[in-house]
Amino acid sequence: MQLFGIHTRLIEPGDDLVDVILDGLRRQKITVENQDVLVVASKVVATIQRRLVKLSSIEPSRRARELSAKYNLEPSFVEVVLQEAERVYGGVTRALLTLKNNVLIANAGVDHKNVPRGYVALWPKNPNESAEKIRKEIFERTGRRVGVLIIDSQVAPLRLGTTGVAIGIAGFHPVKDCRTNKDLYGNPLLITRHALADDVACAAHLIMGEANERTPVVLFKGIPADFSGKIKPGSVTIPAEECLFMSCIGRE
């Protein structure tokens, strides 16, 4: 595979994201081809969608104030998290564990980083639909059929630091089912499925960075994926009762 970090100017609310992507590709003399995959940071999609909230405009609820005192967070920030989260499980200093779009994520994806001071960014609205919109616009402007991922960072149980996670998927099947395969010794793979979209998200996250790199897009060439305009992006998630971590919460 080949991975190309696409540097861009500072992206502003209301910008045309596909214009920004194509301009970045042109300036770096990179040509997009069929079955390439464009990986886009969730923060720039949220910015363009004007999914930014000014914290001084938020009136914290009683619950937000209680959680903010317990976990050392700003009350207005916690209130935004409560509005965005489908469920709050608890937290640690500076972070709440939440469920958002059937993804376990810190603070429901609400983030202070790389937004104007005093604001927070939310996750993009309908991430899968947003990814599909980008995919279609790329085809309309270039004639190329690509895959698109919108990604964010997440933490894993008992691991320090962030990795990438795909929250919006379009143009290729995000999970490869390995249960019909055998290993090196002929043993059947009984439960193994390969989270291809999340693997790609992690590789892109490595290139994008977490600070002021201004590399919100990564172009992948040569991904061993099954490309299609008709996919089930929700196939990356499973019910809580089938999840190793969620099913064990509260058990000894």
Instruction: Answer for the pair 34, 103: CB distance below 8 angstroms, yes or no.
Output: no
Distance CA 7, CA 26 (A): 11
Reported confidence tier of residue 252, pLDDT bands at 50, 70, 90: very low
Domains 1-50+132-252 and 52-122 share a fold: no
Helix-, strand-, coil-residue percentages of the chain, each rounded to 5: 35, 25, 40
Instruction: Answer for the pair 134, 219: CB distance below 8 angstroms, yes or no.
Output: no
CB atoms within 10 A of CB 235: 14
Domain boundaries, the chain: 1-50+132-252, 52-122
Residue 110 pairs with which residues in a beta bridge?
none
Place of tokens 């085809």: 139
Token representation of residue 104: 């376990």
Q: What is the pLDDT of residues 30-39, one digit of tens each?
A: 999 999 999 9
The full DSSP string for 67-128 is: HHHHHT--HHHHHHHHHH-SEEEEEETTEEEEEETTEEEEGGG-B-TTS-TTEEEPPPSSHH
What CATH number does the domain located at 52-122 have? 3.90.1660.10
pLDDT at 248 over 90: no
Q: What is the pLDDT of residues 79-125, one digit of tens each?
A: 999 999 999 999 999 999 999 999 999 999 999 999 999 999 999 99
Q: What is the pLDDT of residues 50-64, one digit of tens each?
A: 999 999 999 999 999
Mean model confidence pLDDT for the chain: 95
Residue 120 pairs with which residues in a beta bridge?
53
Kindly give, in sequence order, each residue whose CB lies less than 8 Å from that of residue 95, ignoring residues fewer than 6 positions away.
71, 73, 106, 107
The architecture of the domain spanning 1-50+132-252 is 2-Layer Sandwich (3.30)
Q: What is the pLDDT of residues 228-239, one digit of tens each?
A: 999 999 999 999
Distance CA 53, CA 158 (A): 31
Kindly give, in sequence order, each residue whose CB lies less than 8 Å from that of residue 91, ignoring residues fewer than 6 positions away.
67, 70, 71, 97
Reported confidence tier of residue 250, pLDDT bands at 50, 70, 90: low
Q: What is the pLDDT of residues 206-224, one digit of tens each?
A: 999 988 889 999 999 999 9
Token representation of residue 162: 């962030």
Q: What is the pLDDT of residues 123-157, one digit of tens each?
A: 999 999 999 999 999 999 999 999 999 999 999 99
